[in-house]
Homo-oligomer: A and B are copies of this chain.
Amino acid sequence: MGIAERKEREREQRRSKIINAAEKIFSNKGFEQATVDNVANKAELSKATLYSYFKSKEELYFAVCMCGQRQLYSMIDHAMENIDDTYQSLLAFLKSIVKFQKSYPDYFQAIFYFQTHRIKLDPKSEEVKKNHKLDQIYLKKWIELFDKGKREGLIRQDINPINSGLLIWMQLNGFLKIFSVMRYALETDFNIAEDDLINDYYNLVFKGILKNKL
């Protein structure tokens, strides 16, 4: 029986190898500019083999995103372990996302592209549904923190948890996207230190929602 298992394991390893290669290529060149050939070369596999793992370029891209997404959510989970305080939780959540962008810019880039472009996928696919569900779960966790904060008197009463949660999430994503593109220009043209800006970002967010000044 060991044979079947080994085969299974090998297949899984190949899949990972492909996704890793794809992640780099897609991030470097963007979805459209990247070619399946590029990915196959990077993965040191033939194009045809690649197609035996993924039905299409789109599906491969989606797999990369799924992988990144799992990484992001595991980082969030990890950061929120053992934190009870709502303020700390909100901060940890935000910081996880920022850290994710910094640690895995390729994944971040892939996910952002995926969210802002219509990539054709089979909507009946189990994977696509699973992905969607996971997103919902973490968005809910995020919004519930706003609810809790409000009940605890941490967050202003006029704050609508859903709206604000979504707004901040949307802003953050956009900010990080532009930030990743402008990072270099910010330092040279505006003489702005990255960490300062990130800190000011947290401040701005919290000043916007908290009842009392920090």
Contacts and interface: CB of A to CB of B under 8 A. Distances in A.
Interface stretch (A17-25, A87-95, A164-172): A164-172
> Which DSSP category, helix, strand, loop or mixed, fits chain A's interface?
helix
Contacts of A178: 115-116, 170, 173-174
A207 B209 CA distance: 7
A48 interface: no
Interface string A145-171: 000000000001010101110111011
Interface stretch (A74-82, A123-131, A197-205): A197-205
Quick one: which of A156, A186, A204 has the most chain B CB within 10 A? A204
A192 B117 contact: no
Given A116-B178, A117-B30, A174-B171, A192 B205 contact: no
Contacts of A203: 158, 208
Contact of A205 (B160, B179, B181, B208): B208
B170 A175 contact: yes
A175 B164 CA distance: 12
Contacts of A156: 207
Contacts of A181: 115-116
A42 interface: no
Given A174-B176, A174-B178, A178-B116, A190 B166 contact: yes
Interface of A: 30, 32-33, 115-117, 156, 158, 160, 162-164, 166-168, 170-179, 181-182, 186, 190, 192, 196-197, 200-201, 203-205, 207-209
